[in-house]
Copies of this chain bind each other. A is one copy, B any other.
Amino acid sequence: PGLTHFDETGQAHMVDVGSKKETHRIAIATGTIRMKPETLAIIQSGTAKKGDVLGIARVAAIMGAKRTSDLIPLCHPLALTRVIIDFQTDPEKSAVTCTAQVETFGKTGVEMEALAAVQIGLLTIYDMCKAVDRGMVMSDISILEKHGGRSGNWTSTKNAS
């Protein structure tokens, strides 16, 4: 089967979703940024007392979700009804994992919005810590699950690299 974002002559278009039903849509995405242990230590101490890296990354992730259709060429604009961003620090892997849950009641899914939120959240962590750790790596950005729409529920079988 071909890609729906192209017509039969190969030209890109924003696909017609006019006849799709408005249903409750949920998407959960995740992703990780690995760093030096001492960088993670700064983030962990900062969150508790001052220099709240994750608090700022959370705001950026939420705002990023709202900008998705501005950034992704063929993505439909959507009025989001809920955005939740969670960060988990993992000292063993020396990493922070970001999880974004995005919801709407509309004609298209919100996977792109959830992934964009994760990306912008991780990128904001990179920005705030790059002065002490330029070698941080963002990985395993993917969809964990989605609900709603014609294709119904979907859950990832592999969500770690």
Number of interface residues of A (CB under 8 A): 93
Residues of A that sit less than 8 Å from B by CB: 1-7, 9-18, 24, 31, 34, 42, 46, 49-53, 55-56, 58-60, 62-67, 69-86, 103-107, 111-112, 115-116, 119-120, 123-124, 126-132, 134-143, 146, 154, 156-159, 161
* CB proximity of A98 to chain B, nearest CB, Å: 12
Contact between chains at A18 and B86 (CB < 8 Å): no
Give the contacting residue for A13; candidates B84, B124, B139; CB below 8 A. B84
Nearest-CB residue, chain B, relative to A116: B123
Contact between chains at B143 and A12 (CB < 8 Å): no
**Which of A46, A52, A59, A143 has its CB near the most chain B CB atoms (within 10 A)?**
A59
Give the contacting residue for A56; candidates B73, B84, B154; CB below 8 A. B73
